[in-house]
Amino acid sequence: MDGILPLWKEKGMTSHDCVFKLRKILGMKRIGHTGTLDPNVEGVLPICIGQATKVAEYITDAGKEYMASVTIGSSTETEDADGDKVLIDSSFKSISRSSIVQALQQLTGEIIQVPPMYSAVKVNGRKLYEYARKGLEVERPQRKVNIYDIELLDEQEQFEGEEITFAIRVACGKGTYIRTLAVQIGELLGYPAHMSSLVRTMSGTYTESECLTLEETREQFHKGQLDVYIRPLEDALAEFPSVEMDAGLLDKISNGQVLQRHAMLQSHDRIVFIHEGKALAVYKNHPSKTGMMKPEKMFSFHS
C-alpha cells in the first residue's frame, strides 16, 4: 500500500499515537505523519503510507489553515489553554472590531516569531519543552514565518468584558505557531493573551471533508474499501513541474544517475519525472556540478 491517507486527528492523541495505531490497523510499519499536532488540537493530519513516506517533507513544508480562538485578558506558560496562567488583566475591556482587524493586518505577511518554551524546537540538541519542564529559561532562536491571511470570524463591532474571546482563520506557511500568534495579537491590542482553542482545517491540499477518523479508517480497512480514500503519492508532488520520460531516460533515471540539467530546472527548484502516470524520481540542481542535476527522491514502480 502506497499513498497518503488524509486523517482527522482527534483531541487527546499525539501525532505519533495516530501513527502507532495505524501501524496496528494496517499491519505495516512504513507509516509516517506530516507535521506534529499537539494533543489538545484536532484537525487534518495527512499520513504517508509505504513509499509515500518519502514525500512527507513536501506536505510538511506546504501551507496550513487553522481556525483558532484568541482569548484576551490572560497569558499562560504554554501560550494555550493548557498552561498555568502567568499574567491576568481583569480590567473591563472594550475593543473595537477595527482595532482587532488592524492588529491582524499588522501580523499578515512575513513576521518574526519566537517559539514557545513549551515546544519541540531544539536548542543545543535538546527540545525547548525539556528545559521548560525543569524550570530553565534558554535563549530561543527567532524565526521568520509567513502569514498569508488572517480573517476575524466574529461579526460584532465591539468586544467587551473582563475577558474577550474571538475566532480567527489563519492561512500560513510552515513553522508558524498559532499560539504565539495569539500572544502577538494580544500584545498589539495591549493585553496579555493566549490561544484558547485550535483546529487545523487544511494541510497542503488536504481538507477536513476528505478525512477519515481512526475508527473510520479501521472500518474501511476491514471492509476492503480503504483504497478509495488513499490519495496517490503524486498528489504531494503536484506543486513541481512533471516530465513524462522517454525510453532513453528511463534506465538512467531508474538508476538515479546524475544527468545534464533539464531546462525546467532553470526556473524551478525541483522537477518530477513520470513514467506511465507514476512518479519515478524527483530531481534538483546538482549543488556542486554546474549544469547538472541529481535525484532527491527515488520511487520504485508502484501500483
- Nearest CA to 302 among 52, 41, 79, 58? 52
CATH class, range 64-200: alpha beta
d(CA 256, CA 283): 9
pLDDT (tens digit per residue) in 232-260: 999 999 989 999 988 788 889 988 999 99
pLDDT in tens, 130-142: 777 777 777 778 8
Q: How confident is the model at residue 301 (pLDDT cuts 50, 70, 90)?
A: low
Average pLDDT, the chain: 92
pLDDT bin (cut points 50, 70, 90) of residue 303 is: very low
Domains 3-62+204-235 and 240-298 alike in fold:
no
CA–CA dist 169, 103 (Å, integer): 14
What is the per-residue pLDDT for 271? 95
Can you identify the CATH homologous superfamily of domain 3-62+204-235?
Pseudouridine synthase (3.30.2350.10)
Q: Comparing 277 with 296, which gets the higher pLDDT?
A: 296
Distance CA 82, CA 52 (A): 34
Average pLDDT of the segment spanning 264-269: 91
70 within 8 A of 183, measured Cβ to Cβ:
no
Q: Which of 38, 80, 251, 269 is catalytic?
A: 38
Domain coordinates in residue numbering, the chain:
3-62+204-235, 64-200, 240-298
> Which residue carries 514502480 as its cell?
301
Where is average pLDDT lowest: 151-165, 187-201, 244-258? 244-258
pLDDT greater than 70 at residue 117: no
Note the Cα 170 to chain centre separation in Å.
12
Q: How far apart are CA 123 and CA 131, in angstroms?
A: 9
Would you call 2 a catalytic residue per the annotation? no
**Does residue 302 surpass a pLDDT of 60?**
no
Spatial distance between the Cα atoms of 170 and 181, rounded to a whole number of angstroms? 10
Superfamily of domain 240-298: PUA domain (2.30.130.10)
Q: What is the dihedral of CA 153, 108, 102, 90, to 10 degrees?
A: 70
For residue 288, give Cα distances in angstroms to 71, 268, 296: 50, 17, 14
